[in-house]
Amino acid sequence: MDDEDNKPKLTVLQFKKPEQTETDADINPDKVLEAALGKLKSAIVIGWTDSGGFYLAMSQGAIAENLMLLETSKAMIIEYMLGGIDADE
Percentages (nearest 5) of helix, strand, coil residues in the chain: 35, 10, 55
What is the tally of structural domains in the chain? 1
Residue 88 is assigned to a structural domain of this protein: no
Residue 15 has a pLDDT of 64
Tens digit of pLDDT for each residue in 26-82?
889 999 999 999 999 999 999 999 999 999 999 988 999 999 999 999 998 888 888
pTM for this prediction: 0.60
DSSP annotation string for 30-66:
HHHHHHHTTT-SS-EEEEE-TTS-EEEEES-S-HHHH
Residue 39 is assigned to a structural domain of this protein: yes
Domain range enclosing 10: 3-81
Tens digit of pLDDT for each residue in 9-23?
767 666 666 565 566
Residue 89 is assigned to a structural domain of this protein: no
Residue 13 has a pLDDT of 64
**Left, alpha or beta for 38 (phi > 0: left; psi -120 to 50: alpha)?**
left
Residue 87 is assigned to a structural domain of this protein: no
